[in-house]
Amino acid sequence: MTIPSTRPEPEPRATAHRVHVGPAGSDVGAIIAAVMVGLFLGAAVFVVWEAQDFMLGARLFPQYVGTATALLAAVELALQAAARIRPGGPKDATPSYADLSEGEEAAPGFYRRCLIVLGWIAALYALTAAVGFMLAVPVWVMALLRIQYRTAWVPAVAIAAGLVGLIYMLQVFLYLRWPKGVLDLTL
C-alpha cells in the first residue's frame, strides 16, 4: 500500500512550455520549426561555401556569421531531435522555447507589438532605399530611440554616432560597400 504524497507538483518553467501533439499523432508546429531551422542551417552552409572565393577582408564577416549560424542551427536541430526521442519522456510533446507566456500570443496587444516592430524594420528598409545605408542608420536609430523608447537626446545621438563610426570602420577595414539609395546621399 502506497501513501499518497502531500507535496505539490512543481510548477512548469514559464520559458519552456509544451506543444502538444494533435489527434493524428503529428505535431505540425514541431515539423515547421524543424524545417525552418533546417533552412537556416542550409542557408548558413551556403553562405560559408560561397564566401570561400571572396577576398580576405570581404570573406571574414560572412564566414564567421555563417559558421556561428550553422553551429547554432545544428545544436537546435539536435535538441529538437533529442526531445522527440528521449526515453521515458513524454512522447506526445516537444519543448517550445518561445519567449512568451502561455496564451500571451493570442492577446491583441501581442499582434500590435509585432506590427510596431515590423513597421520600424520596414522604415529602415525604406530609409535605406531612399537615402542610403550610411545616412539611414543614424536617422533610424535616433527616431527609434526617441519615438519608440523615449530616450533622451544625448544617449540617442551618442548611440547613433557610435553606429556611424562602427559602420565606417567596417567599410574601411573590411572593404564593405553599403547600399547607396535612390537619392545617393552619402556621409
Q: How far apart are CA 140 and CA 153, in angstroms?
A: 14
> In 10 A of CB 98, how many CB atoms?
13
Q: pLDDT digit string (tens) for 107-150?
A: 677 778 888 999 999 999 999 999 999 999 999 999 999 999 99
Q: What is the pLDDT of residue 88?
A: 56
Task: Provide, rounded to the nearest whole percent, the portion of the chain with pLDDT above 70.
Answer: 73
Q: pLDDT digit string (tens) for 72-101?
A: 999 989 888 887 777 655 444 455 555 555
Q: Which residues, 6+ apart, have CB-to-CB distance to 83 below 8 Å?
A: 89, 94, 95
Place of cell 519608440: 148
Q: What is the pLDDT of residue 90?
A: 46
| Distance from the first to the final alpha carbon of the chain | 81
Helix H or strand E encompassing 128: helix 108-131
Most confident of 9-18, 111-120, 152-161: 152-161
Q: Is residue 34 pLDDT above 80, yes or no? A: yes
Could you give phi then psi for residue 20, rounded to 5 degrees? -85, 150
Q: What is the pLDDT of residue 165?
A: 94
Q: Is residue 1 pLDDT above 60, yes or no? A: no
- pTM, entire model: 0.53
